[in-house]
C-alpha cells in the first residue's frame, strides 16, 4: 500500500478525512470548471462586443454615406448659391447701367426722373418725349433742307487748290494791293462748274476783267458770281437747281491761268465764299455763328412760313 498523506478535518459533526490525491483532483476540477466558465464567458462577451462593433460599423457606414450625401448637397447648394449671386450681381449691374442710360436719355429729352414712377413708366415717359423731340428734329431737318437748297453751300467744283483767298492781297497782274471780293479756285481748263443752290441767271456775258462772267440770284438775298469762264451752260433768265451744270473753267479776262473767280454776295455785301463752301447739313448751325452779316433769324422765319404753307397744302 502506497503511502498517502491523509488530511483530517474535524468539526462539530465529526471528522472527515481527505487524501491529498483527491484534494488535488477536486482542485484541478474546480480550476478546469473555472477556466471553462471563463472561456465561455469570454466567448459570449467577445461575441456581444463583435455584434456591437458590427452594428456600430453599419451605423458608421450609414452615417458616412449620409455625410457624403449631405456634403454633396452642401456643395451643390454652394454652387447654386454662387450662380444665383453672380446672376443677381449681373442683373443688378445691368439694371444700374440701364438706369444710368435712362437718366441720360431723360436728360437728353428734357424729362426729370420721377422717384414715384416705376422703371417702365419712366421708359414710356422718355419714349413719349423722345417722339416729340424727333418730330421737332424732323422740322429742323426740313428747315436745313430748305436752307442748303436755297443758299449757296457745299462742294460745286473739282478744284486743285485755293490760289487766292478772300480779302486784301497783292494782285498777281497789277502787283498792287487791292481787295479781293471772292476766292480763286485753280482747276484744269474746261472743268465743269455746278450751281451751289437754286436760283435764276441774271447775267451771262463778258464783263471787263472778269472775262466771261456769270451772275446767279438765289433765295433770301444771296447771289453768286463766276469769272474767267471758258463757256456757259446756261443763259440769261434761265432757272437752275442746286447741282445743275452752269459753266466751265477758263482763263478769259484778266487772268494768269485757268481758274474760277468765285464771289458770294448777300444784299450787295461780299461774304467769304469759302465759309459757305465748307458748310453742309451736318453743321447747319455753325454757319450762323461764323457769318454774322446775314439776317439768319429773318431767313428762318421765311423758311418756316414756306414749310407751314406746304403742310397746309
Query: What pTM value is reported for the model?
Result: 0.56
| Domain ranges, ordered by start, for the chain | 1-10+17-42, 161-312
Calpha distance 216→50 (Å, rounded): 121
The predicted pLDDT at position 231 comes to 96
Listing DSSP states for 227-255 in one string gives: EEEEEESS-TT-EE-TT-EEEEEB--SS-
**Cell numbers describing residue 88:** 443677381
The predicted pLDDT at position 115 comes to 55
The predicted pLDDT at position 272 comes to 93
| Topology (CATH level 3) of domain 161-312 | Glucose Permease (Domain IIA) (2.70.70)
Which CA distances in Å does 216 have to 42, 199, 206? 132, 6, 15
Sign of CA dihedral 155, 160, 165, 166: negative
**Cell numbers describing residue 290:** 461764323
The predicted pLDDT at position 227 comes to 97
The predicted pLDDT at position 137 comes to 47
The predicted pLDDT at position 16 comes to 67
Nearest to 157 by CA among 139, 184, 123: 184
Query: Running along the chain, 313 residues long, what does each successive block of 10 average in pLDDT?
Result: 57 65 72 85 83 78 81 83 81 70 61 59 64 53 82 92 87 76 95 97 96 96 97 97 97 93 94 88 70 87 79 54
Amino acid at each position: 500500500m502506497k503511502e498517502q498523506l491523509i488530511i483530517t478535518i474535524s468539526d462539530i459533526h465529526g471528522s472527515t478525512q481527505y487524501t491529498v490525491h483527491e484534494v488535488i483532483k477536486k482542485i484541478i476540477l474546480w480550476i478546469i470548471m473555472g477556466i471553462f466558465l471563463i472561456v465561455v464567458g469570454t466567448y459570449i462577451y467577445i461575441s456581444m462586443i463583435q455584434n456591437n462593433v458590427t452594428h456600430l460599423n453599419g451605423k458608421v457606414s450609414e452615417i458616412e454615406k449620409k455625410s457624403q450625401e449631405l456634403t454633396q448637397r452642401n456643395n451643390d447648394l454652394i454652387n447654386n448659391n454662387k450662380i444665383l449671386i453672380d446672376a443677381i450681381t449681373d442683373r443688378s449691374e445691368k439694371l444700374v447701367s440701364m438706369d444710368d442710360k435712362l437718366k441720360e436719355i431723360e436728360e437728353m429729352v428734357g424729362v426729370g426722373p420721377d422717384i414715384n414712377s416705376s422703371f417702365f413708366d419712366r421708359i414710356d415717359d422718355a419714349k413719349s418725349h423722345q417722339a416729340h423731340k424727333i418730330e421737332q428734329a424732323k422740322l429742323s431737318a426740313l428747315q436745313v433742307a430748305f436752307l442748303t437748297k436755297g443758299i449757296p453751300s457745299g462742294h460745286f467744283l473739282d478744284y486743285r487748290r485755293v490760289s487766292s483767298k478772300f480779302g486784301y492781297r497783292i494782285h498777281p497782274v497789277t502787283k498792287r494791293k487791292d481787295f479781293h471780293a471772292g476766292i480763286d479756285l485753280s482747276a484744269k481748263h474746261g472743268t465743269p462748274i455746278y450751281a451751289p443752290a437754286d436760283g435764276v441767271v441774271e447775267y451771262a456775258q463778258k464783263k471787263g476783267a472778269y472775262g466771261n462772267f456769270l451772275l446767279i440770284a438765289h433765295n433770301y438775298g444771296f447771289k453768286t458770281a463766276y469769272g474767267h469762264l471758258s463757256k456757259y451752260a446756261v443763259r440769261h433768265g434761265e432757272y437752275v437747281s442746286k447741282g445743275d451744270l452752269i459753266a466751265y473753267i477758263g482763263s478769259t479776262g484778266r487772268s494768269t491761268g485757268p481758274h474760277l473767280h468765285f464771289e458770294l454776295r448777300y444784299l450787295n455785301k461780299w461774304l467769304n465764299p469759302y465759309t459757305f463752301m465748307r458748310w453742309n447739313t451736318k453743321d447747319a448751325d455753325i454757319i450762323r455763328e461764323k457769318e454774322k452779316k446775314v439776317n439768319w433769324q429773318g431767313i428762318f422765319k421765311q423758311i418756316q412760313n414756306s414749310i407751314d404753307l406746304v403742310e397746309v397744302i
